Amino acid sequence: MIGVLGWTCRERISGRQLWRWLDVLAFVWPFALGIGRFACTLAHDHRGVWTDHWLAIRYPEGTRFNLGLIEFLFLIALSAAFLALDRRPRPVGLFFCTYGIVYGAFRLWLDTLHHAPPRLFGPTLDQIGGGITLLVGLAALALTLSISRGGGIASPRPA
């Protein structure tokens, strides 16, 4: 995000074009993260709480959630939803807002399945990251709605 904003300032990209770039980035994030989480699923390196749920994985110390697997399945669903949304005209900013809200909320929920999550001054790292992602998505949605009411940045598919 910092790189995109820096590039935008350097190239003097308009606000409308920035929203289009953010949409493109948000569109590909679930696909890119999905590849990484697939590797986490195979490595079994994100162990969750002990459970007897049907999605549980048997580890040497007991049956637990594999949080990489849960996130991988979520990202497959989010990627499929994004592909379906890409088939029709939509307002600029839809993917960025949707990603922020849906993924941020998912990460907050996923944090409840962590076993001894890392903390930073009280809250867990996922609570901080998921909360920031959710707030950015909500702020982007509010900004998008206010701009679209005042003249509109809505357009068909990004160029």
Paired with 58 in beta bridges are 63
| pLDDT at residue 39 tops 60 | yes
Q: Is residue 1 part of a domain?
A: no
| pLDDT at residue 159 tops 50 | no
Sign of the Cα pseudo-torsion (104, 108, 110, 115, in order): positive
What is the reported pTM?
0.83
**Number of domain units in the chain:** 1
Distances from the Cα of 84 to the Cαs of 78, 88, 93, 157, in angstroms? 10, 8, 16, 13
Q: Is residue 6 part of a domain?
A: no
Tens digit of each residue's pLDDT (9 = 90 or more) over 96-111 = 999 999 999 999 999 9
Q: Is residue 80 part of a domain?
A: yes
Taking residues 144-148, what's their average pLDDT?
A: 77
Q: Is residue 75 part of a domain?
A: yes
| pLDDT at residue 40 tops 60 | yes
Residue 91, classed as helix, strand or coil, is: strand
- Provide the 8-state DSSP code for 13: -
Which domain, by its residues, includes 54? 15-155
| pLDDT at residue 12 tops 90 | no
Residue given tokens 């308009």 in the structure block: 14
Tens digit of each residue's pLDDT (9 = 90 or more) over 42-93 = 998 888 999 999 999 999 999 999 999 999 999 999 999 999 999 888 888 8
| Helical H segments across 63-93, by residue range | 67-85
Q: Is residue 5 part of a domain?
A: no
Q: Is residue 3 part of a domain?
A: no
Q: Is residue 58 part of a domain?
A: yes
Question: How does strand 154-155 pair with strand 90-91?
Answer: antiparallel
Distances from the Cα of 54 to the Cαs of 50, 51, 112, 115, in angstroms? 12, 9, 18, 18
